[in-house]
Every structure is written in structure tokens, then in C-alpha cells.
Amino acid sequence: MTGKLVTALALGAALLSANPAAAATCKKDADCKGGEVCQTGKCVKATAAAPAAAPASPASTSSTAAAGVTAPRIAWGGIGFYNVGISVDTPFGTVSGSSGAFGINAGALMNVAALSPDVPLAAWGNVGLVFPSGGTFFPITAGVAARYDKLPVTLLGGLGFTIMPHSGSGTTPLGLAIQTMGFLPIPQVHPNFSGNVQIAYHILSSGFSLFTLTFGGGWAF
């Protein structure tokens, strides 16, 4: 009898080792024992969670800002303040005066050479239409400028030649233009669009001078 009991216990142990107990049922992780989690109503061994994927790095602000103005060509148009000055020599000395007015302008630039890897040389032209007291003026300027695109704002500075036809009598003034420009990309409007600011001073013949400060929009292409 004792031999039969020992044989039965041994057989039962063998069956248990060959067929592990079924997973316990559960509704939440707290129903399972340590090291297990509740999945589809059964307790299973917990596995290490896969590491969360690193969030995508946002695009560089400076790269995004510069994208709208790094193209080799930019066209622009705007409105601003024009101050036409004139000095006249008389037997009693030099008499000077000026007249300021708002005017409109349009122009374009194009890269033509590389002064260095980061500084291209651009050829540019600009045409204005101004209505100060005493007549209508048409300043036309063409020149070259060094261009720097490695900032959030594209900057240009250079020299040009200006001729300024006008509706009055007398000679047509012409002379040197000292020009600076800045383009600030506005990708919220369009990736190619930028705000434009220009400041220039023109030293002209026949006693004329011209100062300009204009604001507008640019389009890179």
C-alpha cells in the first residue's frame, strides 16, 4: 500500500512539472503577483517597456529664417520717405533747401560672384517715383553690393550710380549712391517672402542730394 502511494505522488509531481499551472485571471495589474502584469484578463510576466522614441528635433530657427532669402535673386517693392535736397551758390553764399515726400520704389538683385564662401557679390537696381513739392522725381540706381546670408536677416551694403530725371527745368542730376538693405524672412506668409528695409544716400551733381528710407516686401527666387 505504501509503495502504491509513493508511486502515485511521484507520478503527480511529474505531471505538474510537465504542465505548469494556467495563468491566473485578472482585471488589473494589482490582481497579479510581483513581476506580472494583467493583459487580456490573464497575469503574464512583465517585460521591459521599449524606450520611448526621442522626439524629432525642431528645424533650426536660423535655417528656417534664412531659407526665404538665400536664393540668388530677390525682387522687391515698397514705399517710404524721400528727401530731395538742393544747394545753390549765390553771390551772397550757398543757399540750401530740401523737400520731403513719400514715394514708391521697386528693384531686384542677383548674385554675380563670390567674394568669399559666405559673402557673394550682388548686382542690384532700383527705380523710384517721388512727388515732392516742385516737381516729380524718378531716381534710378544700379550698383553692386556685398551680401551676407548667415544671419536670420540677409544684409547688403554697397555703392551704385544714380541718375534722377525730374519734371522741372534744368539739368538731370547724377552721382554716387551709398546703399544698405535688409531682408527679414516671413515664412508664415510664404517661404520665399521677406520684409525689406532700405536706407540710401545719393550725392548728386548740380547741387542735388537724395536721402531715402523705404519699407516693403521681397520675393526670393
Question: How do strand 208-220 and strand 193-204 relate by DSSP bridges?
Answer: antiparallel
Cβ atoms 44, 171 nearer than 8 A: no
Residue type for position 75: A
pTM here? 0.67
Instruction: Of 122, 126, 121, 123, give the one whose Cα is nearest residue 162.
Output: 126
Instruction: Of 205, 121, 194, 106, give the one whose Cα is nearest residue 164.
Output: 205
Measured between alpha carbons, how far is residue 74 from residues 37, 106, 184, 194, 196 in Å?
Answer: 63, 11, 12, 10, 10
pLDDT by position in tens, the chain (length 221):
555 555 555 555 554 454 444 567 888 878 887 778 888 888 888 775 445 555 555 444 444 444 446 789 999 999 999 999 988 777 676 777 888 899 999 999 999 999 999 999 999 999 999 988 778 999 999 999 999 999 999 999 999 999 999 988 889 999 999 999 999 999 999 999 999 999 999 999 999 999 999 999 999 99
Position 61 scores a pLDDT of 44
What domains can be seen in the chain, in order of their start residue? 67-220 (2.40.160.20)
166 CB-near residues (< 8 Å, 6+ apart): 135, 136, 137, 138, 172, 173
Position 163 scores a pLDDT of 98
DSSP string, 53-111: PPPPPPPPHHHHHHHTT-SSEEEEEEEEEEEEEEEEEETTEEEEEEEEEEEEEEEEEEE
Residue type for position 125: G
Cβ atoms 149, 118 nearer than 8 A: yes
Position 51 scores a pLDDT of 52
C-alpha 58/C-alpha 187 separation (Å) is 15
Measured between alpha carbons, how far is residue 104 from residues 46, 137, 184, 202 in Å?
Answer: 73, 11, 20, 17
Measured between alpha carbons, how far is residue 102 from residues 87, 91, 147, 149 in Å?
Answer: 21, 33, 27, 30
